[in-house]
Amino acid sequence: MAEEFQEFISELKEKLNIVDVVGSYVNLERRGGNYWACCPFHHEKTPSFAVNEADKYYHCFGCGESGDVIKFVKEMENIDFMDAVRLLADRAKLSMPQSDFDGRKTVEQKRKRDVIIKIMNDSAHFYLDNLNSGKADEHIAYILKRQIPSNIVRAFGLGASLDYEGLPRFLIKKGYSAQDMLDSGVINSVDGRLIDSQGGRLIFPIINAMNEVIAFGGRALKKVNFGKYKNTKETVVFSKSKTLYNINLLKKLKKTQNLKEVIVVEGYMDVISLYQAGFKNVVASMGTSLTQDQSRLLKRYADTALISYDGDGAGQKANLRGLEILRGEGLNVKVVPLPEGLDPDDVIKQTGAEGYRKCLDNAMPLIDFKLHNLRTQFDLTKQEEKRKYVAEALKVIKTADSAAEQEDLLKNLRDVSGITYESLKRDLSNAPAEIKPQSDAPPPKKEVVSLEGRASRYVIAAYLFGAACAADTPIEEIPFSNDVHSIISKYIISKKMMEERVRPAELFEFFEEGSGEYAELCSILDYSDGEIFKGGTAAKYFNDCVKKLKLIAADKQIAKLKKLAENEPDGEKRKKLTEAVQGLLITKKKINSGDKP
């Protein structure tokens, strides 16, 4: 069975053109033998992300991310291996094998996810039927009050929970177990009784980029002692920090047009109101400060994020950390100024689409917004307050991307503060930089590679990418001590014996993603552009590396034999071990002199 599945995976990769698949997510440009783009996995201004069409893999020479077409889709869609396979199989018009070949998860884990997705789908239909049942008068009244037309209600799949008992009864009749219902988050247990976790609320289905319902948001229609809006608890399919509301419709929009910017709002109704007014490039941040996962998700759809939160200075200040994370992921961040006390939905209702468009036109770069926000915190009529403001403003200005931008911002600060430009410029050079919020991800660890490791990596890469400097030295002669390099060596030898082409992409199947071995393979791919194997010194460096590896291998063997000899009580055996050491010493001399050992 496993062999049959592997054959299917090979057929899938063969049928798909990795350039076409990657190109549907990022803009690729052909240069030389590869296709290039700015890496979707880290922030960069100069393209270092390469797609090798012939060998069917991608590699970023900046951050080191590498993989085949399945891994790329897995990362871009934030889905697991099997879901990526299913998506690509559908694209390639191949039928998935009937048997369950998912070796990456246990049967129970896969069953759990599939069941929860089914529960979510059935619950969404249940809520939708409730809304159209003639019994949801309060829900309909709220929809009419908020002026949501029927086509928008359908587009967002809005529904109604009429009570606390209806949904659990419905799901039990469908055959779902109590535990699965509880694990899905749509059902809670109170004093041993199963109840709808969104009881009595207007329902907003939360749908992922794969068009799967993964959670629900509920809006209370009566006065409650807790939040007006309530989300499903986090589950195996739903994480607030990794989800954006309306990402499913944004993905559909992306397929029909080139998106330059995405509007980011705070709530469901803001999304729906803007979408209804014609601003369909909109998502909501699920009521949390923006995270790195959400930032990366946004970056897949556009390069500019227009932050359109409520016109509340205090609330916007609290979200500065999330905006910095967006900027850290390479997004151009602009903040949309709204009238004090109004949210995007209010602006649409009061001034229409044209009024909101004017707000978008006045969107200010993040650094300008930070200075604007900073100014509201100080009373500039008081000398001490003004000095504190200037000191803090200089910290912000110091983070500007260019000298020209700094100059422009200093002139604005001069006009506001009344302090001369020359004084501000002198103070800027001494001002400490603003401390930026830390990213969610830990800082990358600096790789430390031994002399042997560097030599071994260069040599195995030369064979893997067919460098001319490796043509005269049989790979079978090279003693690789690194396990990854040994596996690659065996792969190359087997391909040579079968007279087949060496395909680096096939090596991704040999190592577990996220492992040290996989990371080492990605490091080897840094040599795939072939530049390091060009020039007159390449052959000499290759031969020096080979010599180094042979000498190190000999030294290791000598040390091992000497230790055995020291602990060997039998005189005859000890003599043979000593002779073996002498033989290796002679071999070392030949290696050093350039003779064949």
For the domain made up of 106-238, give the CATH fold: DNA primase DNAg catalytic core, N-terminal domain (3.90.980)
pLDDT at 376: 85
Q: Does the pLDDT at position 485 exceed 80?
A: yes
The structure tokens 């916007």 sit at: 316
pLDDT at 313: 52
Say if domain 2-92 classifies as CATH 3.90.580.10. Answer: yes
For the domain made up of 451-593, give the CATH fold: DNAb Helicase; Chain A (1.10.860)
pLDDT 10s digits, 255-266: 888 889 999 998
Q: Does the pLDDT at position 491 exceed 70?
A: yes
The percent of residues in the chain predicted with pLDDT above 90, rounded, is 62
pLDDT at 4: 75
pLDDT at 98: 61
pTM check: above 0.75: no
pLDDT at 441: 44
Instruction: Output 216 or 225, whichever has higher pLDDT.
Output: 216
Alpha carbons 64 and 46: distance in angstroms, whole number: 15
pLDDT bin (cut points 50, 70, 90) of residue 442 is: very low
Give DSSP secondary structure letters for 501-534.
---GGGGGGGS-TTSHHHHHHHHHGGGTT-GGG-
pLDDT at 257: 87
Q: Does the pLDDT at position 251 exceed 80?
A: yes
Q: Which two tokens stand for residue 129?
A: 């039927």
pLDDT 10s digits, 363-407: 999 999 889 888 888 999 999 999 999 999 999 999 888 899 999
pLDDT at 70: 94
Phi, psi of 88 (to 5 degrees): -70, -35
Out of 18-27, 283-292, 333-342, 572-581, which region has the weakest mean confidence (pLDDT)?
283-292
Domain boundaries in the chain? 2-92, 106-238, 240-366, 378-430, 451-593
Q: What are 29's strand-pairing partners?
A: 36
pLDDT 10s digits, 17-36: 999 999 988 889 999 889 99
The residue-averaged pLDDT of 162-186 equals: 96
Find, among 258, 364, 257, 349, the residue nearest to 306 by Cα: 364
pLDDT 10s digits, 313-340: 545 554 677 788 888 888 899 999 888 8
Residue 531 sits at the vertex; the CA angle it makes with 530 and 532, to the nearest 5 degrees, is 95
Q: What is the second-level CATH architecture of the domain 240-366?
A: 3-Layer(aba) Sandwich (3.40)
Give DSSP secondary structure letters for 282-317.
EEE-TTS---HHHHHHHHTT-SEEEE---S-HHHHH
Q: Does the pLDDT at position 501 exceed 80?
A: yes
Q: Does the pLDDT at position 1 exceed 70?
A: no
Sign of the dihedral through C-alpha 570, 575, 578, 584: negative
The residue-averaged pLDDT of 402-420 equals: 92
- Average confidence score pLDDT of the chain: 89
pLDDT bin (cut points 50, 70, 90) of residue 68 is: very high
The residue-averaged pLDDT of 121-137 equals: 97
pLDDT 10s digits, 512-527: 888 889 999 999 999 9
pLDDT at 105: 45
Alpha carbons 271 and 263: distance in angstroms, whole number: 9
Q: Does the pLDDT at position 434 exceed 80?
A: no
Find, among 286, 294, 210, 284, the residue nearest to 251 by Cα: 210
- Strand pairing category for 34-37 and 213-219: unpaired
pLDDT bin (cut points 50, 70, 90) of residue 2 is: low
pLDDT bin (cut points 50, 70, 90) of residue 76 is: confident
pLDDT at 319: 64
Instruction: Output 255 or 106, whichever has higher pLDDT.
Output: 255
The residue-averaged pLDDT of 581-592 equals: 87
pLDDT at 536: 82
The percent of residues in the chain predicted with pLDDT above 70, rounded, is 92
The residue-averaged pLDDT of 53-64 equals: 93
Q: Does the pLDDT at position 287 exceed 80?
A: no
pLDDT at 108: 67
pLDDT 10s digits, 443-480: 444 567 789 999 999 999 999 999 999 999 999 999 99
